[in-house]
Amino acid sequence: MNILEVAGGKPIKLWTQGVPVEDDARQQLLNTAKMPFIFKHLAVMPDVHLGKGSTIGSVIPTLGAIIPAAVGVDIGCGMIAVCTSLNASDLPDNLQGLRTAIEQAVPHGKTFGRRDQGAWEHVPATADHAWQSLAARFKAITSKYPRLEKTNNRQHLGTLGSGNHFIEVCLDEANRVWFMLHSGSRGVGNAIGNLFIELAQADMRQHIANLPDKDLAYFEEGSRHFADYVEAVEWAQDFARQNRALMMQAVISAARKVLGKPFEANLEAVNCHHNYVQREQHFGQQVLVTRKGAVSAQKGQLGIIPGSMGAKSFIVRGLGNEQSFCSCSHGAGRVMSRTRAKKQFSLADQVRATAHVECRKDKDVIDEIPMAYKDIDAVMQAQRELVEVVHTLRQVVCVKG
């Protein structure tokens, strides 16, 4: 761990040894560290890279204030993984049928909601019960912010999305089969995030010129929108958690149909956020902890650190390192933008990099090529003080939106 002292701000503690940190991301860290309500120090994870306002891969502890853009617009985005009683030998030699079954079971990608091209006409009925547990709280939020009613909320519950969201079938070091997926609060979380970022900037209109970055606009505790934002964020985080659980049920059901044999699917299970804010106790004080692309790693707590498409992933156990506010990275972290990746790499590069995985191999996923991300082994080495590896997973099937 390295410490960067910041003139006029709090120190920055970085677990980035052996991994690159871009200059723009470093500047964002300096900007955030100068905010007047930062508690103790910023904690920077090895997957750190440029984000909106604040870097992805940072842990931002605050007293009496929240920065909505630091929480981000994919509120509650995270991971879920389950270990099954299946072994590699239980899987068919050709995994295309399993990938197709998962793609048909879980609405995903930009064609979601279209009736053509075999896309889904509606959200699976299994989402009805989950939505009932969310509906009353959502109505309380939309009564104050009617703009949120006209979002994809109920329609997106149980859906994957696109971009870096994925579903995978993996094998661990003992060749046991795992199912793992990555998604968040979808359209409604995005709408909540953007609405409150706008409100924070509007509330600070007279002072925003004094901020290092307008996306560091914040709500002070007790201000007009603070409590409403906390309520909406907590709801979006619950939506995201249930969204992942519903998709996992669909993946398991699809696998059971394809494999044609009974199996257990909850031998080990992890469901964790990596874009969120919550109140926690640190250094003897109650603080708000924003994890923007970071995972809680309390002592003994299980978490998931996925590699890029085609790379290894890890089930980890937190070591409870207080200096990191008991956190770890949320993945490998990008080393280049999606635009640059599409310019730099070819479809042939993508095919070679994912040769060992049953997955899409087309120009629309080149931006997810493993070389657009940091080396996951270097990322894990840099945070060995934060987590210990419980299982190492390798992909055999990957579904992208």
**CB within 8 Å of 299: residues ≥ 6 apart:** 318, 319, 320, 326
CA–CA separation, 33 vs 9, rounded Å?
A: 5
CA–CA separation, 94 vs 374, rounded Å?
A: 30
Query: Is 306 within any annotated ligand binding site?
Result: yes
| Unique residue bearing structure tokens 């933008």 | 337
Burial annotation 59-86 (CB, 10 A radius, 16+ → b, else e): bbbbebbbbbbbbbbbbbbbbbbbbbeb
Active site residues: 330
Contact 307, 297 (CB under 8 A): no
Query: Is 184 within any annotated ligand binding site?
Result: no
Query: Is 198 within any annotated ligand binding site?
Result: no
CA–CA separation, 296 vs 304, rounded Å?
A: 10
Query: Is 248 within any annotated ligand binding site?
Result: no
Query: Is 331 within any annotated ligand binding site?
Result: yes
Query: Is 161 within any annotated ligand binding site?
Result: no
Query: Is 222 within any annotated ligand binding site?
Result: no
Query: Is 85 within any annotated ligand binding site?
Result: no
CA–CA separation, 38 vs 47, rounded Å?
A: 21
| CA distances from residue 232 to 112, 316, 340 in whole angstroms, order as listed | 25, 30, 35
Longest dimension (CA), the chain: 64
Nearest to 195 by CA among 228, 159, 237: 228
Query: Is 305 within any annotated ligand binding site?
Result: no
Query: Is 400 within any annotated ligand binding site?
Result: yes
Query: Is 168 within any annotated ligand binding site?
Result: yes
Query: Is 333 within any annotated ligand binding site?
Result: yes
Query: Is 144 within any annotated ligand binding site?
Result: no
Query: Is 355 within any annotated ligand binding site?
Result: no
* Token couple for 397: 């099937």
Chain centroid offset of residue 27 CA:
23
Query: Is 156 within any annotated ligand binding site?
Result: no
CA–CA separation, 300 vs 319, rounded Å?
A: 6
Query: Is 274 within any annotated ligand binding site?
Result: yes
Binding positions: 74, 164-168, 182, 274-275, 306-309, 313, 330-333, 400
| Binding-site positions for GMP | 164-168, 274-275, 306-309, 313, 330-333, 400
Annotated binding site for Mn(2+): 74, 165, 182, 274
